[in-house]
Amino acid sequence: MRTPPESMRQFLRILGITVLLLSSSFGLTPYNAVPTAQAQLGKPEGLYYKSWAIIIGIENYLLAPDIPGAIDDAKKVAQAFRQLGFDEVVEIYDKDAGFRRLHQVLSDMLPRKVGRMDRLVIFYVGHAGVAQDADGKDRGYLVPLDAQVNNVAKSVTVEHLKEFTRRSASKHTLLILDAPVYGWETTAPQPLSLEGRLAPEADTERRAVQVISAADKGEFSFRSGGKSLFVQALLTGLAGAADLNKNGWLMASELGTYLAQQVNAATKGTQHPTSLRIDGDGDTVLVEGRKAAFVLGADPQTPAERHQAAKAQYEQAFALLQEGKSADEALERLNRAIEYDPTYGDAYVLKSYVRLEVVPNLDEALVSGQLAVKHAPDNPDSFYTLGLIYEKRGNFAESEAALLQALKVNAGYQDVYFSLGTLYADHLNDQPKSVEAFRRYLELGGAHARARAAVSQADQSTKPTP
């Protein structure tokens, strides 16, 4: 078998992930944060050097309606973060929560003091407003003590918050807003959590800026008896109930899912908390459990849980291979993914390629390739990889059939045409088909010298003799 062209790009395709998706979903685009005055060198002993919780509660507005019980809610949240072991819990209430003070905290104090290996949580309970930006898109904003609800000029807008998170060097930032605040741009959808990954440190080192808002567009944060239902659910979640897979690790993504479930149920579907990530691809750790529990997690029971566990194992296998780490461990994780969900087709696709090229075993490669086309028939890489396996085993007719099937799934798959060109030329002795395949490969943007030479030679031979 000839080595396919552009092998790294082909490898990424076989993983079912394009280079563009890699940059957004796996964090290959570097983040340039503004350095803080407080340098932090090396790694902390735990996950973070320092943990910060900024608690903002506004109850007695000067120009807007009061929110009875808001400060009491905020104080309970502050106590919850102290119990979680946060080093600095800064409480800002009423007269200290004016426009100038909030902007000073966000634009000056926190960027100066919070380090690159720190964790930062900002909690806000108060009024929120909405205004349209220059593009006509609705953007939410927080209302300081001395502002009116409809006065965006003296507010803390989504744009202010985004600019703050861009300037902050903190490894993980989580905004928890007991108000309907929307209009964010998000990064790739985050999974439920990082359970099933190799080690907590491997993924928690990745930057993350996450937002949990108490309500969606057009909704209100419901209060009963001077208490916020969102805050009540938040306190219960931080106490451990939001650890959805019961492995001892509480992640921000889990907390967001838990709050959406609980508040939606408590309000009979009238309030829908939102959870999203606006930068990075990590996940904030709120409670750090044992490493072994993080790796193994609770045994998945339902089909949905088993599928999620399979996906987590597959993603970790991909990460190991993409980073050039242990291929044997990647195979173990792919086997575990298949054990969790024997119908998880992408795991067979990746395993067939690994057994073909990375840790060769043609018998296992063939079995995995055949299962890949069974369970992932809509993925052209299932048939492409199987075709490469058949070629290496000397089954050339079967290789041709598999490669042609890959083109039925994706008629524009450039590298398949190159492989067909070499197959026809080297093993099936069909030069016209070889040239045709190479020509199509070049038309789709391929640049391999062999394809150019074959097409050029064929064109020269068909020119009339002067």
> 81: domain CATH number?
3.40.50.1460
pLDDT of 291 reads 54
The C-alpha atoms of residue 349 and residue 380 are separated, in whole angstroms, by 10
Q: Of 228, 258, 291, which residue sits at a domain end?
A: 291
> Tokens 């050339």, residue?
396
Domain residues for the domain of 11 are 7-24+296-462
Q: Is residue 211 within 8 Å of residue 177, measured between CB atoms? A: yes
Is 424 inside a domain boundary?
yes
Q: What is the CATH number of the domain that holds 312?
A: 1.25.40.10
pLDDT of 1 reads 39
Of 86-95, 322-331, 333-342, 412-421, least confident by mean pLDDT is: 322-331
Residues 94 and 158 placed together within one structural domain of the fold: yes
pLDDT of 189 reads 44
Tokens of 338: 């298949």
Pinpoint the alpha helices (H) of 142-227: 158-167, 200-204
Question: Order of strands, edge to edge, in the sheet holding 156-157?
Answer: 128-132, 138-142, 156-157
Higher pLDDT among residues 9 and 150, named by residue: 150
CA angle 197, 203, 204 (to 5 degrees): 125
pLDDT of 365 reads 93
pLDDT of 466 reads 59
Residue 201 pLDDT greater than 60, yes or no: no
pLDDT of 300 reads 67
pLDDT of 14 reads 47
Is 131 inside a domain boundary?
yes
Of 117-126, 145-154, 295-304, 394-403, least confident by mean pLDDT is: 295-304
Is 225 inside a domain boundary?
yes
Residues 231 and 306 placed together within one structural domain of the fold: no
Q: Write the single-letter amino acid at 116.
A: R
Residue 342 pLDDT greater than 80, yes or no: yes
Non-local (6+) Cβ contacts of 413 within 8 A are 380, 384, 406, 407
The C-alpha atoms of residue 251 and residue 20 are separated, in whole angstroms, by 27
Is 2 inside a domain boundary?
no
Q: Is residue 427 within 8 Å of residue 391, measured between CB atoms? A: yes
Q: In the chain, pLDDT over 70 holds for what percent of residues? A: 82
Q: Is residue 173 within 8 Å of residue 219, measured between CB atoms? A: no
Q: Of 256, 291, 326, which residue sits at a domain end?
A: 291
Helix pair angle (7-14, 414-426), 10° resolution: 110
Residues 423 and 382 placed together within one structural domain of the fold: yes
Residues 76 and 198 placed together within one structural domain of the fold: yes
pLDDT of 213 reads 95
pLDDT of 309 reads 83
The C-alpha atoms of residue 28 and residue 26 are separated, in whole angstroms, by 6
CA angle 36, 38, 40 (to 5 degrees): 100
Q: Of 263, 291, 319, which residue sits at a domain end?
A: 291
Q: Is 210 left (phi over 0), alpha (psi -120 to 50) or beta?
A: beta
Is 254 inside a domain boundary?
yes
- Sign, Cα dihedral of 182, 188, 191, 195: negative
| Residue 330 pLDDT class (50, 70, 90 cuts) | confident
Residues 168 and 238 placed together within one structural domain of the fold: yes
Counted domains in the chain: 2
Is 307 inside a domain boundary?
yes
Residues 361 and 398 placed together within one structural domain of the fold: yes
Q: Is residue 304 within 8 Å of residue 245, measured between CB atoms? A: no
pLDDT of 45 reads 58
393-420 pLDDT, tens digit per residue, is 999 999 999 999 999 999 999 999 999 9
Residues 257 and 216 placed together within one structural domain of the fold: yes
Residues 337 and 447 placed together within one structural domain of the fold: yes
> What does pLDDT average to over the chain?
84
210-230 pLDDT, tens digit per residue, is 999 999 988 999 999 999 999
Is 240 inside a domain boundary?
yes
Residues 315 and 196 placed together within one structural domain of the fold: no
Residues 280 and 330 placed together within one structural domain of the fold: no
Residues 148 and 282 placed together within one structural domain of the fold: yes
Residue 12 pLDDT greater than 70, yes or no: no
Residues 279 and 366 placed together within one structural domain of the fold: no
Of 35-39, 42-46, 158-162, 254-258, least confident by mean pLDDT is: 35-39
Is 1 inside a domain boundary?
no
| Residue 85 pLDDT class (50, 70, 90 cuts) | very high
Higher pLDDT among residues 386 and 289, named by residue: 386
Q: Write the single-letter amino acid at 390.
A: Y
Average pLDDT over residues 377-384: 94
